[in-house]
Amino acid sequence: MVSEHAAQVLVASNRGPVSYSLSEDGSLASKRGGGGLVSGLSAVDDKLWVCAALGDGDREAVRRGVGEPGVRMLDIDADVHADAYNGIANSVLWFVHHLLYQTPVEPVFDAEFRRQWASYETYNRAFAEALAEEAGPGAAVLVQDYHLALVPGLLRELRPDLRIGHFSHTPWAPVDYFRLLPDDIGEQLLRGILGADRAAFLTRRWADAFISCCTEILGGTGRTRIGVHGLGADAEFLRRRAHEADVDDRMAALREQVGGDGDRRTIVRVDRTELSKNIVRGLHAYRALLDTRPEWRERVVHVAFAYPSRQDLAVYREYTAAVQTLADEINATYGTPGWTPVVLHVKDDFARSLAAYRLADVALVNPIRDGMNLVAKEVPVVSDRGCVLVLSREAGAHEELGADAIVVNPYDVTATAAALHEALSMESGERAERCERLAAAATALPPQQWFLDQLEALRRD
């Protein structure tokens, strides 16, 4: 029987589609976020997005009953949220899936870890209870990411009638690395996700890694189906937005900073200042290029945008400082009165990112590991003159874009410098042809279709 709620769709994620900031005069300002999920969900009518209040502004909004239709923000105790988000999700699970530990000294799974894990359970339970309360009979619930790995299992117990999906936006760890986690915790995470009818990933590689963990640790994935949905770039939105007046203004300002009367090439990168994005090695590679190929001095500028991220964590603050220090060092070593080798911006500005995409001769996307990396997909779509993509083989996007990119091992600074040289030297015809193919591959699965495919598969399987 198809119930009247069967078309209802609930999404659950830590970060929601809107956030609030509190001004000194006590007023609340709201800001809408972007991303694949926001545009994906816009394809659906009957929907509810359950998310966590992340800061004081969000919490105040919940208390005042301020909110948007279709969004329920959970005011989970701030300490519980901090332990779950900073302590477990971003300092343990993110590190496991991106292979970020320096294993001789970390991780340390001690009593403090267990205390934070209890908060992670509480936070996941709060989501499961809210979803159980809000969902109509037979509704579809799409749970997002490593923050909420326990939700499918908890929700299944509360509401066996629901169709539950889980989607991982990150890579999944290889089984030997996943086994760094205490055995009971690893099992709990896998069983949590296996509470879903379908567990889906951005690439086959991450899906296979998850299946290996389930097979070796639990003996299989049980009744849970495994899916792969490679989120693509939103070409229509990007092409329109990249030609609005504010982007043109940013292009003029960037051209000025690049200098050289329009003759200089640009190597562009746009990232959160995130350990896995490998920004520091990217700068080392650029320095090696200037060192070993002096013919590029004065003729190229590295336009690097490294936007603030997870600044509650000391290791991210230190990484941010390391990026700044190295950029300054390169400028001090090689810069001349008319040439700044690295133009670094650390303040988030979407219009300026699009301007850099349009100007890029080369896009450097060299993460040590990445679920997908949408920048790799967005730059070829927006680029004015066609741009060469230097792409890490460890980015999920490599599966779809590798054939037309210059592919690098992200740890190999010398090889990355050589790849930058090759990219800068590529003849314009080949560059334009490759870029066209990259843009076609990058837009094969636009966000709305990506979302609808998941929904359809969840209802069907």
CA distances from 7 to 47, 48, 413, 450 (A): 9, 12, 50, 17
Q: Which is nearer to ligand F6P, 396 or 410 (CB)?
A: 396
**What is the identity of the amino acid at 442?**
A
Size of the site for ligand F6P (CB under 6 A): 8
State which of positions 86-105 bind ligand F6P (CB under 6 A).
90
Report the residue number whose CB is nearest to ligand F6P: 169
Query: To the nearest whole angstrom, how small is the minimum distance from the Cβ of residue 130 to ligand F6P?
Result: 18
- The radius of gyration of the chain's CA atoms, rounded to the nearest angstrom, is 23
Among 8, 170, 273, 373, binds ligand F6P (CB under 6 A): 170
**What is the identity of the amino acid at 348?**
D
What residues are paired with 392 via a beta bridge? 408
Specify the DSSP element, H or E, that contains 134: helix 111-134
Q: Is residue 277 a contact residue for ligand F6P (CB under 6 A)?
A: no
Query: To the nearest whole angstrom, how small is the minimum distance from the Cβ of residue 96 to ligand F6P?
Result: 13
Query: To the nearest whole angstrom, how small is the minimum distance from the Cβ of residue 90 to ligand F6P?
Result: 6
C-alpha closest to that of 409 among 395, 393, 397:
393
State which of positions 281-310 bind ligand F6P (CB under 6 A).
309-310
State which of positions 202-261 bind ligand F6P (CB under 6 A).
none
Beta-sheet pairing, 28-32 with 18-22: antiparallel
Query: To the nearest whole angstrom, how small is the minimum distance from the Cβ of residue 103 to ligand F6P?
Result: 22
Query: To the nearest whole angstrom, how small is the minimum distance from the Cβ of residue 145 to ligand F6P?
Result: 4
Query: To the nearest whole angstrom, how small is the minimum distance from the Cβ of residue 15 to ligand F6P?
Result: 4
Q: Is residue 124 a contact residue for ligand F6P (CB under 6 A)?
A: no
Q: Which is nearer to ligand F6P, 310 or 377 (CB)?
A: 310
State which of positions 362-421 bind ligand F6P (CB under 6 A).
371
**Burial (Cβ within 10 Å: 0-12, 13-18, ≥19) of residue 7:** middle
Query: To the nearest whole angstrom, how small is the minimum distance from the Cβ of residue 33 to ligand F6P?
Result: 8
Q: Which is nearer to ligand F6P, 30 or 309 (CB)?
A: 309
State which of positions 307-366 bind ligand F6P (CB under 6 A).
309-310
Q: Which is nearer to ligand F6P, 144 or 383 (CB)?
A: 144
Q: Is residue 169 a contact residue for ligand F6P (CB under 6 A)?
A: yes
C-alpha closest to that of 175 among 186, 165, 164:
186
Query: To the nearest whole angstrom, how small is the minimum distance from the Cβ of residue 234 to ligand F6P?
Result: 16
Q: Which is nearer to ligand F6P, 15 or 284 (CB)?
A: 15
| Chain CA centroid to CA 24, Å | 32
Could you tell me if 416 and 445 are in contact, meaning their C-beta atoms sit under 8 angstroms apart? no
Q: Is residue 15 a contact residue for ligand F6P (CB under 6 A)?
A: yes
Among 36, 91, 98, 145, binds ligand F6P (CB under 6 A): 145
Query: To the nearest whole angstrom, how small is the minimum distance from the Cβ of residue 433 to ligand F6P?
Result: 31
Q: Which is nearer to ligand F6P, 50 or 289 (CB)?
A: 50
Query: To the nearest whole angstrom, how small is the minimum distance from the Cβ of residue 36 to ligand F6P?
Result: 9
Q: Which is nearer to ligand F6P, 88 or 301 (CB)?
A: 88
Query: To the nearest whole angstrom, how small is the minimum distance from the Cβ of residue 143 to ligand F6P?
Result: 12
DSSP 236-259: HHHHHHTTSHHHHHHHHHHHHHH-
In the block, residue with structure tokens 């693509």: 232
Q: Which is nearer to ligand F6P, 236 or 312 (CB)?
A: 312
Could you tell me if 330 and 304 are in contact, meaning their C-beta atoms sit under 8 angstroms apart? no
Query: To the nearest whole angstrom, how small is the minimum distance from the Cβ of residue 388 to ligand F6P?
Result: 25
CA atoms within 13 A on the CB side of 413: 15
Tokens of 360: 């890029």
Give SS3 for 69: coil
What residues are paired with 144 via a beta bridge? 167
Cα dihedral 207/211/212/217 (nearest 10): 140
Assess whether the previous peptide bond of 17 is cis (omega < 30° from 0).
no
State which of positions 53-92 bind ligand F6P (CB under 6 A).
90
Q: Which is nearer to ligand F6P, 169 or 302 (CB)?
A: 169
Tokens of 103: 């294993």
What residues are paired with 141 via a beta bridge? 10, 164
Q: Which is nearer to ligand F6P, 156 or 310 (CB)?
A: 310
Tokens of 65: 């009953």
Q: Which is nearer to ligand F6P, 90 or 416 (CB)?
A: 90
Q: Which is nearer to ligand F6P, 165 or 386 (CB)?
A: 165
CB contact burial 215-248 (16+ within 10 A = b; e otherwise): eebeeebeebeebebbbbbbbeebeebbeeeebe
Assess whether the previous peptide bond of 107 is cis (omega < 30° from 0).
yes
Q: Which residues bind to ligand F6P, rule: CB under 6 A?
A: 15, 90, 145, 169-170, 309-310, 371
